[in-house]
Amino acid sequence: MNVLLFTTYKHGGAGTACRRLQEALTASGETANLLTAGETPSKWPFYAERLSFLPFERDKTVRFAFSLANFGHDLSRHRLAREADILHLHWINQGFLSLKNIRQLAALGKPVVWTLHDMWAFTGGCHYSGDCLGFRLSCGMCPYLRAPGPGDLSHRIWKKKQEQLPENIHFVTCSEWLAGEARSSSLLRDYPVTAIPNPIDADVFKPLSPAERMAFRQSKGIGRDALLLLFVAMKVKETRKGFHLLLRALQELKNLHPALPVELLVLGQSDPAELQALPYPYHALGLVRDTASLVSVYGAADVFVIPSLEDNLPNTVMESMACGTPVAGFETGGIPEMVGHLQEGFIAPQGDSEALAKGIYRLARGETPVDTFRKAAREKVERQYANAAVGEQYIRLYRNLLTTPRPD
């Protein structure tokens, strides 16, 4: 088969997942090409998208949390699109593909698969809806907008999607949680939706040896006996990533166990002023995209803490587990599907920082040896998320779509 993958960026969660799928398909003997916004001739659709939302946005904090998909690139005449057997969309916002462009691709008559990395495809514009359930009806009264109302921008985008979403799309979600949300939506309830996780190369993301773990600690000046925690976010200040709840959890941990030596690794864009509130020594590593360095960071940590309030199937959780590092997080999105409670980590009730603090301690210093959690995390990745396992699920889906007669 010849599969063409589309994603706006090669980096970020969706871009990384898309590239990993390309690698998994190629390793299975399939042809898999990739098109991104970097291969398009102009950046004007990106700027047009952003500028067109400015008059409507509630404030600048939601600027990239809402997308219109009015502008993009017609890739239906691209050589790779013409040659492909399967057209596979991933994250396509910020001026890469508009709704019109998606219809142009679907008009080629080839099976279209669309892997959702957030909720955007079935909302009136937001990527995560929070407590709002407007997507189950017809949107409107959108909390992201400056002037919410029954017929506001979100309702108009919802209506446009209702009219323009092509029929020949098979939707895939990276988690059962997102699949359930999609099936409950007014826009996608009549479409086929399949849950298939993101893949990871478990031969690359793998546990460090004890000597490698110690060498990393020494290189960063980390105490030999410190409980080393890891927090990862592209932007630490992004509210849905829960850094404010991490602060509370760490303060609670310090109150409960004042003599416990703890240090924190912070991976992502951060402001030193944000980190000053941490009650423990920290090491701000910035953005790290080099794979070998990422493996060292994940593998050296004792516990990966993910206090996200909204998430799908985070690559960071998978990367941590592949490196044998147990995970402590909230009952958010697809995280409980990845991390079995007291199996591969600890799942606290949504937003409960006190429970999260107790979970961190239980994983690292509780009655169950931490090596038990490490082993379980690694084995789950090998069993469910490794390239071969996920690649085979997609290949079966592609073959079914190619052999199923399409209605005239």
Strand positions, DSSP E, 100-195: 112-116, 169-173, 193-195
Contact, 323 vs 316, CB < 8 A? no
**210-384: same fold as 2-199+387-403?**
yes
Tokens of 5: 């993958």
Percentage of the chain beyond pLDDT 70 is: 99
pLDDT for residue 271: 87
Residue 407, pLDDT score: 54
pLDDT band per the 50, 70, 90 thresholds, residue 289: confident
Specify the pLDDT at position 312: 86
Distance between CA 20 and CA 322 in Å, rounded? 14
* Residue 173: burial class (beta carbons within 10 Å; 0-12, 13-18, 19+): buried
| pLDDT, mean of residues 45-63 | 94
What percent of the chain shows pLDDT beyond 90? 92
User: Under 8 Å CB-to-CB from 386, ≥6 apart: which residues?
Assistant: 199, 200, 201, 202
CATH number for the domain running over 2-199+387-403: 3.40.50.2000
Cβ count within 10 A of residue 9: 18
pLDDT of 269 above 80: yes
Q: How far apart are CA 249 and CA 179, in angstroms?
A: 30
Domain boundaries, the chain: 2-199+387-403, 210-384
pLDDT band at 12 (very low <50, low <70, confident <90, very high): confident
At position 139, the amino acid (one-letter code) is C
Model confidence over 320-363: pLDDT tens digits?
Answer: 999 999 999 999 999 999 999 999 999 999 999 999 999 999 99
- The burial of 73, by beta-carbon neighbours within 10 Å (0-12 exposed, 13-18 middle, 19 or more buried), is given as buried
Residue pLDDT, tens place only, 375-406: 999 999 999 999 999 999 999 999 999 998 76
The pLDDT value given to residue 406 = 64
Cα 329 to chain center, whole Å? 15
Overall average pLDDT of the 32-43 stretch: 94
Phi and psi, residue 330, nearest 5°: -95, 165
Class of domain 210-384: alpha beta
To the nearest whole number, what is the mean pLDDT of the chain? 95
Q: Which of 75-84, 269-278, 281-290 has the highest mean pLDDT?
A: 75-84
Report which secondary-structure segment, H or E, holds 286: strand 282-286
* Dist CA 79 CA 95 (whole Å): 20
3-state SS class at 293? helix
- Residue 349 gets which letter from DSSP? P
* Digit-coded pLDDT (tens) for 200-253: 999 999 999 999 999 999 999 999 999 999 999 988 988 899 999 999 999 999
Question: What does the alpha-carbon distance between residue 320 and residue 322 come to, in Å, rounded to a whole number?
Answer: 5
Question: How far is residue 248 from each of residues 126, 252, 317, measured CA to CA in Å?
Answer: 28, 6, 21
The pLDDT value recorded for residue 273 is: 87
